[in-house]
Amino acid sequence: MYRFDVMVDEWVHEHKIPGGVLSVTVANRLQFQKAYGSYSDGLVNVPIGLDTIFDLASLTKVVSTLPAMLVLVAQGKLKLDDPVSTYIAEFAHPDITVKHLLMHTSGLRADLPYKNRAAQGRNVLSEVLQQESVAPPGTEVTYSDLGMILAGEIIARVSGEPLDRFVRRTVFEPLGMTGVGFNPDASLKPRIAATELVDGVYVHGKVHDEKCLHLGGVSGSAGLFGTAEDLARYAQFWLHPEKAAILPPELLRTCVQQPFRSRGIGWEVLHDENSVPASCGATWSKGSFGHTGFTGTSLWIDPVRELSVVFLTNAVHFGRNNPVRHLRRTLHDEIAAALFPIKDEAQSP
């Protein structure tokens, strides 16, 4: 039994997280997979299974928006260094490029003023377009939902299709990611992990993120639902893109090369031990890349070890002030220690 397995069980029993699914793959072989815990649907406790569908939250940014944008680049329909205003004429910042949006270096604010789920008639895109920049583009990293909402809008305008339809056709279906998508059908609700308790009712089967909800459930920043199996398959695509032939491998490699303050194109990249601690912990290989989601989800890939870890939880089930940000660093370090132990120098040849 792995120490990291025991640790996740302990977190569930200690009510640090309601449960989740952990999937670990090494060299294209499933190394470990397990479901933990349960959640309340408001009436009964529902066990979490390997096929449980989670609100992936900001994993949408790298699992949907990023590959969809890269498809358009590969098709020659846009360039990452093009100004955003090339594709969204009403955007008022001519120096901000598509690449700035994806790297969170646009200088746009992190978020819009909060409005609850019940807010009526909110035009999120209009609000985003009215925002002033707070820093010159390319000079600072501000993790911005606004930039990724604009990226999703660019994809829709350039492709001529809604983001959800375009990414399903060009990415999810070719990769066999059959359990991933936006606005899940009501028939899937029994398999979907409920998220936060809001006004006495659990958010269940609907997107947790308020801005995405107001956008109709489809956004460049949030809205995607999926299973651990879906994300494990997606991780293998990034490790071995030549097998799928969806995108040029060199285009994917560009996304995680030359990060700026730990931000690559789309991904968080582990490249400098002096930077802010990465959500994968401290012991992963330099060049590892990943992302997290506010609901309690994460995906990390170590290309040196051919290691990928999918950890999907609905941590916000216990409220927004939960410890999952700290727990996942410990988890990833424990996984690395268990699967890639450091040899004792005295025993080394």
- Residue-range domain boundaries for the chain: 3-340
Q: What is the mean pLDDT of residues 292-297?
A: 98
Q: What is the mean pLDDT of residues 52-66?
A: 98
Per residue in 170-219, pLDDT (tens digit) is 999 999 999 999 999 999 999 999 999 999 999 999 999 999 999 999 99
Residues 6+ apart with CB under 8 A from 185: none
- CA–CA separation, 262 and 167 (whole Å): 26
8 A C-beta contact, residue 39 and residue 18: yes
Beta-carbon count within 10 A of 183 CB: 16
Average confidence score pLDDT of the chain: 95
pLDDT of residue 344: 43
pLDDT of residue 271: 83
Strands of the sheet containing 54-55, edge to edge, are: 54-55, 224-226, 181-182
Per residue in 298-347, pLDDT (tens digit) is 999 999 999 999 999 999 999 999 999 999 999 999 999 999 997 544 43
- CA–CA separation, 237 and 317 (whole Å): 31
Per residue in 69-125, pLDDT (tens digit) is 999 999 999 999 999 999 999 999 999 999 999 999 999 999 999 999 998 889 999
pLDDT of residue 276: 61
pLDDT of residue 28: 87
For residue 349, what pLDDT band results from cuts at 50, 70 and 90?
very low
Residues 6+ apart with CB under 8 A from 315: 17, 18, 20, 295, 296, 322, 324
Least confident of 26-40, 142-156, 277-291: 277-291
Q: Flag whether pLDDT at 283 surpasses 60.
A: yes
Strands 197-198 and 201-202: antiparallel
Q: Flag whether pLDDT at 241 surpasses 50.
A: yes
pLDDT of residue 275: 63
8 A C-beta contact, residue 342 and residue 348: no
pLDDT of residue 274: 60
Q: Which tokens sit at 176?
A: 């066999």
8 A C-beta contact, residue 149 and residue 211: yes
For residue 1, what pLDDT band results from cuts at 50, 70 and 90?
confident
pLDDT of residue 346: 40
Q: What does CATH list as the number for 3-340?
A: 3.40.710.10
pLDDT of residue 208: 98
